[in-house]
Chains A and B, each alone.
Chain A
Amino acid sequence: MKQLMLGNEAVARGLYEAGCSVISSYPGTPSTEITEYASKYDDMYSEWAPNEKVAMEVAIGASIGGKRSFCAMKHVGLNVAADPLFTVAYSGVNGGMVIAVADDPGMHSSQNEQDSRHYAIASKVPMLEPSDSSECLAFTKLAFEISERFDTPVILRLSTRIAHSQSLIETADRIVPMQKEYIKNPAKYVMMPAMAKARHVVVEKRTLDLVEYAETSTVNKVIMNNSKIGIITSGTSYQYAREALGDEASYLKLGMVNPLPIKLIQDFASKVEKLYVIEELDDIFETHCKKIGLNVVGKDIFPVIGEFSQNLIAQKMGAAINDTLSLEETIPVRPPVMCAGCPHRGMFYTLSKNKVMVSGDIGCYTLGAQAPLQSIDTTICMGASISGLHGFNKAMGEKGEKSSVAVIGDSTFMHSGITGLANIAYNNSNSTVIILDNSITGMTGHQQNPTTGYNIKGEPATKISLEKLCEAVGINRVTVVDPYDLKRCDEVVKEELAAEEPSVIIARRPCALLKSVKHKPALHVVNDSCKGCKSCMKIGCPAISIRDKKAVIDKTLCVGCGLCQSLCAFSAIHEGEEA
Chain B
Amino acid sequence: MNSNNINEVKSIMIVGVGGQGTLLASRILGNAILAQNYDVKVSEVHGMSQRGGSVVTYVRFGKEVCSPVIDEGQADIIVSFEQLEAARWLKYLKKGGKLITSTQKIDPMPVITGAATYPNNLIEQMKEKGIDLVAVDALSLAEEAGSSKATNVVLMGVLSNYLDFEDKFWEDAINQCVPSKFLDVNRKAFTLGEMHR
Interface residues of A (CB under 8 A from B): 2-4, 6, 29-30, 32-33, 108-109, 132, 161-162, 164-168, 236, 239-240, 242-243, 309-311, 321-327, 329-339, 364, 367, 370-372, 443-445, 537, 540, 542, 544-546, 556
For residue B54, CB closer than 8 A to chain A, the reply is: yes
Q: How far is the CA of A335 from the CA of B110 in the complex (A)?
A: 8
B91 touches A326 (CB 8 A): yes
Chain A residue with minimal CB distance to B65? A167
Chain B residue with minimal CB distance to A544? B112
Report the minimal beta-carbon distance from A76 to chain B, rounded to whole angstroms. Answer: 13
For residue B195, CB closer than 8 A to chain A, the reply is: no
Q: How far is the CA of A325 from the CA of B90 in the complex (A)?
A: 6
Q: A321-B71, A332-B117 are in contact. List 16 more A-B contacts (CB 8 A).
A: A33-B46, A161-B43, A161-B68, A243-B66, A309-B69, A322-B73, A322-B94, A325-B91, A326-B90, A327-B125, A332-B84, A333-B110, A339-B51, A367-B51, A542-B112, A545-B107
Q: Which residues 97-142 of B have a CB within 8 angstroms of A?
A: 107-119, 122, 125-126, 129, 131
Q: Which residues 49-100 of B have a CB within 8 angstroms of A?
A: 49-54, 65-69, 71-74, 84-85, 87-88, 90-95
Q: Quick one: which of A162, A309, A331 has the most chain B CB within 10 A?
A: A331
Q: How far is the CA of A474 from the CA of B34 in the complex (A)?
A: 58
For residue B194, CB closer than 8 A to chain A, the reply is: no
Chain A residue with minimal CB distance to B91? A324
A30 touches B46 (CB 8 A): yes
Q: How far is the CA of A7 from the CA of B19 in the complex (A)?
A: 22
B129 touches A325 (CB 8 A): yes
Tell me which of A161, A240, A445, A537 contacts B113 (CB under 8 A): A537
B108 touches A335 (CB 8 A): yes
Chain B residue with minimal CB distance to A167? B41
Q: Nearest 8 A-B pairs (CB), nearest first?
A: A322-B73, A29-B47, A109-B47, A336-B53, A165-B68, A332-B116, A334-B108, A243-B66
Tell me which of B44, B49, B119 contacts A165 (CB under 8 A): B44
Tell me which of B19, B65, B108, B114 contacts A333 (CB under 8 A): B108
B68 touches A108 (CB 8 A): no
For residue B146, CB closer than 8 A to chain A, the reply is: no
| B113 proximity list for chain A (CB < 8 A) | 371-372, 537, 540
| B131 proximity list for chain A (CB < 8 A) | 325
Q: How far is the CA of A540 from the CA of B107 in the complex (A)?
A: 12
Chain B residue with minimal CB distance to A555? B148
Report the minimal beta-carbon distance from B48 to chain A, rounded to whole angstroms. Answer: 4
| B50 proximity list for chain A (CB < 8 A) | 336, 445
Interface size of B by Cβ–Cβ distance < 8 Å? 60
For residue B17, CB closer than 8 A to chain A, the reply is: yes
Contacts A4-B34, A109-B46, A324-B91; A243 near B67 (Cβ below 8 A): yes
B67 touches A329 (CB 8 A): no
Q: How far is the CA of A339 from the CA of B88 in the complex (A)?
A: 22
Q: How far is the CA of A4 from the CA of B69 in the complex (A)?
A: 16
A4 touches B43 (CB 8 A): no
Q: How far is the CA of A29 from the CA of B74 in the complex (A)?
A: 27
| A326 proximity list for chain B (CB < 8 A) | 90-91
| A537 proximity list for chain B (CB < 8 A) | 112-114
Chain A residue with minimal CB distance to B74? A322
B87 touches A331 (CB 8 A): yes
| B39 proximity list for chain A (CB < 8 A) | 167-168
Chain B residue with minimal CB distance to A552? B107
Q: How far is the CA of A434 from the CA of B165 in the complex (A)?
A: 54
B112 touches A540 (CB 8 A): yes
Contacts A334-B53, A364-B51; A239 near B66 (Cβ below 8 A): yes
Q: Quick one: which of B43, B92, B117, B131 has the most chain A CB within 10 A?
A: B43
| A540 proximity list for chain B (CB < 8 A) | 109, 112-113
B47 touches A108 (CB 8 A): yes
Instruction: Say what secondary structure dominates the interface of chain A.
Output: loop
| B44 proximity list for chain A (CB < 8 A) | 6, 164-166
B126 touches A310 (CB 8 A): no
Q: How far is the CA of A18 from the CA of B73 in the complex (A)?
A: 42
Q: How far is the CA of A572 from the CA of B3 in the complex (A)?
A: 56
Please list 29 pairs of residues, one from A and one from B, whose beta carbons are closer than 8 Å in the complex, sorted by A's number.
Answer: A33-B46, A108-B45, A109-B48, A161-B69, A165-B41, A166-B41, A236-B67, A239-B66, A242-B67, A309-B69, A310-B69, A311-B72, A311-B73, A321-B72, A324-B73, A325-B93, A327-B87, A331-B87, A332-B118, A334-B108, A334-B109, A335-B53, A336-B48, A336-B49, A338-B51, A370-B109, A537-B113, A540-B113, A556-B148
Q: Quick one: which of A29, A109, A542, A546 has the most chain B CB within 10 A?
A: A542
B87 touches A167 (CB 8 A): no
| A364 proximity list for chain B (CB < 8 A) | 51
B51 touches A239 (CB 8 A): no
Contacts A327-B126, A329-B119; A334 near B30 (Cβ below 8 A): no
A545 touches B112 (CB 8 A): yes
Chain B residue with minimal CB distance to A240? B67
Tell me which of B31, B68, B93 contacts A167 (CB under 8 A): B68
Chain A residue with minimal CB distance to B68? A165
| A108 proximity list for chain B (CB < 8 A) | 45, 47-49
Tell me which of B46, B53, B125 contacts A164 (CB under 8 A): B46
B51 touches A166 (CB 8 A): no
B31 touches A327 (CB 8 A): no
Q: How far is the CA of A367 from the CA of B51 in the complex (A)?
A: 9
Report the minimal beta-carbon distance from A312 to chain B, rounded to whole angstroms. Answer: 8
| A444 proximity list for chain B (CB < 8 A) | 47
Report the minimal beta-carbon distance from A234 to chain B, rounded to whole angstroms. Answer: 14
| B119 proximity list for chain A (CB < 8 A) | 327, 329-332
Q: How far is the CA of A3 from the CA of B40 in the complex (A)?
A: 10
| A322 proximity list for chain B (CB < 8 A) | 72-74, 94-95
For residue B42, CB closer than 8 A to chain A, the reply is: yes
Q: How far is the CA of A6 from the CA of B42 in the complex (A)?
A: 8
Q: Which residues 151-167 of B have a CB within 8 angstroms of A?
A: none
| B85 proximity list for chain A (CB < 8 A) | 334
Contacts A334-B85, A334-B108, A335-B109; A30 near B47 (Cβ below 8 A): yes
Tell me which of B18, B30, B91, B93 contacts A336 (CB under 8 A): B18
Report the minimal beta-carbon distance from A134 to chain B, rounded to whole angstroms. Answer: 11
Tell me which of A29, A30, A236, A329 contacts B122 (CB under 8 A): A329
B46 touches A165 (CB 8 A): no
Chain A residue with minimal CB distance to B143? A556
Q: How far is the CA of A161 from the CA of B18 in the complex (A)?
A: 18
Report the minimal beta-carbon distance from B170 to chain A, rounded to whole angstroms. Answer: 16
B18 touches A329 (CB 8 A): no
Contacts A4-B34, A327-B129; A168 near B40 (Cβ below 8 A): yes
Q: How far is the CA of A339 from the CA of B40 in the complex (A)?
A: 33
A309 touches B67 (CB 8 A): yes
| A168 proximity list for chain B (CB < 8 A) | 34, 39-40
Report the minimal beta-carbon distance from A105 to chain B, rounded to whole angstroms. Answer: 12
| B88 proximity list for chain A (CB < 8 A) | 331, 334
Q: How far is the CA of A542 from the CA of B125 in the complex (A)?
A: 26
| A325 proximity list for chain B (CB < 8 A) | 73, 90-91, 93, 95, 129, 131
Chain B residue with minimal CB distance to A554? B106
